[in-house]
């Protein structure tokens, strides 16, 4: 049973899904990194205005910002919602959304000739979509579910609230931002665009009931190794082979703290790239962990290995290390209301809670560090970042219902007492 306008959700999602808004790391000095994101950002600004919000496009950050004014006299703190405009690094040219009504739970043909299928044997989560309106790509592009589904969920909520002014609510701020997939969107967000907003939510990957308020702490490291080139026939005591030194570094990394042996709350060190010659070698790696002490210990390990090898090889290693983002739980553990509010909304709607870790990062990591605690909800899709992406109209509809309930619950708890219970340990 739908709560919102399913026809609006379907048409709006397909409209925005067709737009190629891929972001590009190599263009990171541009804001946003692709002109198509500017186009869609301004289009969304106009869409917000048409719904009835005060809205503008921030040229410096690439964010479309909207404000739905409160319709009560209560002193209730503003609340915010974020979704991102860009899509991941997979083909996004000529996206052709395919609508499969009353999905029967069986294999979906994306391209018979090329043998491309969306099969529940490979993707068991499809079982939750049976009987719903399933939307996929044609198998040759991504669909853009991440995060066009989140955008449409927000627009649906706003449309409903403006069409039903009898539903009381406080101030609501909306941020549709660029370049989330490459880690620049939330970093560039200007908190002045969300004045006095106490809490917010990103609407990233997942199904109804999913909720994440723990992400990785993240660091990237670049190691450069300087060798000495000498003719091999005269190399005795003179040549220093940078490739050999590189292997010495790699051999000292922990063998079991790698992604392929990690799950749940395990952290890891991942070597992204290692190239070497006699003259020089370069290593690129990332460090990830949920636990702050284990995270900083991994950072220190890299520093210690470099120091040991510099002592052994006479200062031929240089290290550059950069913190990318921090676990939002580091902040949210002391501000439990933002978590409890969402869980209370789930409970009132009869949605089963599925609290899990987010083994990555979101715009919420950066926004949380700017003073607005921002955990992650869901967007009603699956198989993100590739040809097998999908979404269902009904699950986006459920997202809109959840967002509306959060807004209502925030006002209710402001009036009747807030749920500040300490966060439970679910792990």
Annotated binding site for Zn(2+): 84, 146, 181, 385
Active-site pick, 10, 132, 171, 180: 180
Known active-site residue 180: yes
Question: What are the φ and ψ backbone dihedral angles of 287, each rounded to 5 degrees?
Answer: -120, 135
Give, in order, the Cα–Cα distances in Å from 158 to each of 163, 395, 399.
8, 17, 12
Cβ contacts of residue 171 below 8 Å, gap of 6+? 67, 68, 69, 70, 76, 78, 79, 196
Active-site pick, 10, 19, 86, 204: 86
Hey, what are 88's tokens?
């991941």
Taking a C-beta distance cutoff of 8 angstroms, is the pair 360, 202 a contact?
Answer: no
Alpha-carbon distance of 227 to 218, in angstroms, equals 30
Alpha-carbon distance of 87 to 142, in angstroms, equals 8
- Catalytic positions are 86, 180
């Amino acid at each position: 049973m739908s709560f919102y306008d399913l026809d609006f959700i379907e048409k709006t999602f397909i409209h925005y899904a067709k737009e190629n808004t891929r972001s590009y790391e190599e263009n990171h000095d541009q804001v946003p990194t692709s002109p198509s994101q500017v186009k869609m950002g301004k289009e969304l600004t106009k869409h917000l205005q048409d719904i009835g919000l005060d809205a503008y496009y921030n040229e410096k950050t690439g964010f479309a910002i909207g404000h739905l004014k409160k319709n009560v006299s209560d002193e209730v703190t503003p609340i915010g919602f974020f979704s991102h405009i860009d899509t991941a690094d997979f083909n996004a040219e000529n996206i052709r959304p395919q609508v499969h009504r009353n999905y029967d739970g069986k294999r979906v043909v994306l391209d018979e000739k090329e043998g491309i299928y969306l099969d529940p044997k490979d993707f068991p989560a499809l079982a939750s979509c049976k009987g719903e309106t399933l939307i996929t790509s044609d198998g040759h592009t991504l669909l853009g579910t991440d995060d066009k589904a989140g955008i449409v969920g927000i627009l649906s909520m706003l449309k409903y609230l403006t069409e039903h002014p009898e539903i009381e609510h406080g101030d609501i701020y909306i941020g549709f931002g660029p370049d989330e997939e490459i880690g620049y969107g939330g970093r560039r967000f200007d908190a002045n665009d969300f004045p006095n907003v106490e809490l917010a939510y990103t609407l990233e990957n997942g199904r109804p009931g999913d909720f994440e308020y723990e992400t990785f702490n993240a660091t990237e490291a670049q190691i450069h190794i300087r060798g000495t080139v000498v003719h091999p026939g005269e190399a005795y005591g003179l040549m220093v082979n940078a490739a050999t030194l590189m292997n010495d570094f790699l051999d000292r990394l922990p063998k079991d703290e790698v992604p392929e042996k990690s799950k749940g709350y395990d952290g890891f060190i991942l070597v992204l790239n290692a190239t070497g010659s006699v003259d020089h070698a370069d290593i690129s790696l990332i460090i990830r962990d949920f636990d702050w002490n284990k995270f900083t210990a991994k950072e220190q390990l890299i520093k210690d290995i470099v120091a040991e090898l510099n002592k052994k090889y006479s200062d031929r290693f240089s290290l550059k290390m950069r913190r990318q983002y921090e676990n939002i739980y580091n902040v949210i553990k002391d501000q439990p209301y933002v978590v409890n509010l969402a869980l209370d909304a789930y409970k009132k709607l009869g949605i089963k809670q599925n609290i899990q870790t987010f083994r990555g990062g979101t715009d919420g990591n950066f926004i949380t560090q700017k003073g607005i605690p921002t955990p992650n909800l869901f967007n009603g899709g699956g198989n993100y970042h590739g040809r097998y992406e999908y979404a269902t109209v009904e699950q986006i509809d459920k997202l809109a219902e959840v967002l509306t309930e959060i807004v209502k619950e925030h006002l209710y708890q402001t009036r009747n007492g807030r749920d500040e219970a300490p966060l439970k340990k679910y792990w």
